[in-house]
A and B are shown apart, each in its own frame.
Chain A
Amino acid sequence: MNYRLLFCIMIVLLPSSNVLGEGPLWQKELACDSNASYSPCAVFTDINDNKLLILGIPIRSSAEEGSFLLWKMDPNGEVSSQVKFGNVQKKSEAIHRLSQYGDIAIKSDKSIFVLGDFDGSTVSSLPITSKKGDKPSVKSIPNSRVEKGKKDELILRMRPAFNNSQIFAGRQGNNGLLFKLDDTGNEVWKKTFDLGQTEIFTDVVTDNNQIYVAGYSGQVQGKMAFDTNTVQNFLLLYDLNGQLIKEEYFEGNPFPTETPQVSQLKSGTVLVVYDKSKDVLANNLNVRAYNPDLKFLWETQVVKTVGGAPPMSFKIIAVSGDRFFVGAVINVGELILAEYTSEGKLVERWTLGKIAGPNGGLRLAELDKKVYAIFSNITYDSSQKIKIMVLAFPIK
């Protein structure tokens, strides 16, 4: 295949039911300090306090150090507080991963639970829990401590569950990994998923009844792509004790990304956004809907491109009014955001060209009848400064 030609003649094919939005309600840039660039790692909506919590991860070159930044932002974009904590000494490659796979949550004691990967030399994960304990790595957050993950574990997503527990999804070696920690950070159960290929759990969501896990499986072809013929996405249904109940499979892109992502409407409909394209350099972003028992309901296409770059950053979020938003960074920096009804009908879509960094590190959050897209953007000079962009969009 002539990828250069495809690259040069990149064509964006929009769905027929295109509804273009007018633009974000507002747009903010979170300032980076003079010594470090920051990439968003995670965003958490603190409903009780009516704030957005945004975690910034410093992107550093080798041997430099930097601190995390945690911003509290009002729904109107005003930063009410900014906390600097921790000390990260990382090479950039680990931080790139951090910026894409990290999460934060508020625990029952109002402390912050941070998931990140702090080991630049291996594929590993290191959740930081802010529960009681004593660990010097995170000094400026009271009662914080570091929990070190295993070297062959890569934790991609953390989701709050019932009783202030947390569900983690990722990879252990070549198998999908799912485990649960209680409010104090102790492991409740741990499960792996093996189809005989390389399996990665990319996202997880849970209600008070079941756990839905999205991921993909494939035979690695080389070091940065799967054999197209072996790739398949899956959506798995687990009970609250971590027992696998049902599996659903669908097509997937051979380029490794964080797709598929999963969310659940309040009505119970389970949604997955994924890249259906079999071409590593193409995007065919689709949403599939299932009922709570994983019976297929419908599928709709969000955007399709030929050529360009592989899709790197995807998110889906269920919002009030039984609507959902799909966000994606495609074509090395183009942000797509679309609002849908629970039946998959497009309400509105925004396309912002070349606004995000190539991987974007996109996060979506809902607060005060708005949806916020938080992602990184790169300054393309020798400094390669990265800033955090926060865009607010209305929920129709």
Chain B
Amino acid sequence: MNKQSVLMRIFVIFVFSAIAVATVCPPAPPCYKKLSSSWPECRIGWNCPGPGYCCGHCCSGSGTCCNTSCCASGGCRGCSGGSCKVCGGDTSKECCGGSCITKCDSDLCLQCDGNGACESKCDPNQCKTCVDGECVSNCHFADCLTCDGSGGCESFCDSDNCETCNGLGGCVTNDGALSIIITWEDYGNCPNLKQWLGYTPTTNGCTGVPNNPAGGACGEASSFLGACNTHDECYSRCGSTQGGCDGQFGNNLDAVCRPLTGTCYASCVDWALIYNIAVELVGEGYWQNGQLQACGCCSH
């Protein structure tokens, strides 16, 4: 085969291929309308990308021609001023459920209901109301309120447990709901002991005995002051147990001594044991006083 013959074959294949591509367009759509005598007719062979699209000056499917555009069906689109526009380009309208209605006012948190009407997007059952176009809850967290699912607000603080809101979204003891405990018998009979919100425990170190009994060359490293103050706070924490506080006290004293060495360590450990025994022997009254001061009784 000579070179000329080969080129001819390639040319023929190219021409037939081009014809095949150009003829994939579907038949002329029913919406065809000649708008101007100077416009060419739409006919088979025009390069249409597919149904529903405009082929130059025509469109296919259920769409409608609009000048040189094709207005697709649905979506409230219509021809206005030579182009396809929603609701004819009336910005005061919106398409809702296939109908053009007066636009739902977003400032009033209104939205299309999908059936040709406007509705509020704020669910009253969820205690939501519209404020500046936003749905916000009527039940303020800072007031410890939560929606009950039926349009009402309820507090998440347990008033039966003598709790009230602190205005910051936290539940605290309602001192006004507590009764004063005067005797140890009252303490024992109270069904629900609660620490007074306004009660601040007092600390006064080791009280009656040296804060740093090992002292001397051991310096402040052997001081029991911090452990004694923590022990005071524990005694003054409503609901604490003396044994628990004393146990923590012993552990804290041990922690003071552990880093020490030599005679300081030995002396420190000795005193830690002595102090631990002392609080166990006579700490009960002090602990009881702490409880009577720290606790009120919630009778619920």
Contacts and interface: CB of A to CB of B under 8 A. Distances in A.
Nearest to A332: B270
A220 B208 CA distance: 10
Could you say which interface size class chain A belongs to? 35 or more
Nearest to A257: B281
A122 B241 CA distance: 7
A24 interface: no
Q: Which secondary structure characterizes the binding site on chain B? A: helix
Interface in A1-17: 3-4, 7-8
B282 interface: yes
A224 B265 contact: no
A91 B242 contact: no
A220 B285 contact: yes
Nearest to A121: B243
Interface string B239-276: 00111101101110000001000000111011101111
B288 to A, nearest CB: 8
B282 A224 contact: yes
B276 A121 contact: no
A224 B285 contact: no
Interface stretch (A43-51, A68-76, A232-240, A377-385): A377-385
Contact of B258 (A254, A358, A382): A382
A280 B281 CA distance: 15
A122 B240 CA distance: 10
Interface stretch (B28-36, B151-159, B212-220): B212-220
B212 to A, nearest CB: 7
A135 to B, nearest CB: 22
Given A223-B287, A255-B278, A380 B210 contact: no
Contacts of A152: 284
Given A200-B281, A223-B279, A312-B274, A121 B208 contact: no
B106 interface: no
A198 interface: yes
A91 B241 CA distance: 14
B281 A378 contact: no
A120 B277 CA distance: 13
Contact of B278 (A198, A224, A382, A384): A224
A94 interface: yes
B145 interface: no
Interface residues of B, number: 46
A230 to B, nearest CB: 12
Interface in A186-231: 198, 200, 218, 220-226
Contact of B269 (A94, A119, A256, A378): A378
A119 B242 CA distance: 11
A176 interface: no
A225 B277 contact: no
A94 B207 CA distance: 22
A283 B35 CA distance: 124
Contacts of B266: 380
B209 interface: yes
Question: Which of B184, B208, B213, B215 has the largest count of A CB atoms less than 10 A from its CB?
Answer: B208
27 contacts: A3-B210, A3-B213, A7-B214, A93-B276, A94-B243, A173-B184, A220-B286, A221-B207, A221-B208, A222-B208, A222-B286, A224-B207, A224-B208, A224-B279, A224-B281, A224-B283, A225-B208, A225-B209, A225-B282, A226-B282, A256-B278, A256-B281, A281-B209, A312-B277, A332-B271, A359-B273, A380-B266
Question: Lowest 10 A-B CB distances belong to which pairs?
Answer: A222-B207, A225-B208, A224-B278, A121-B243, A256-B281, A223-B286, A358-B270, A332-B270, A4-B215, A3-B210
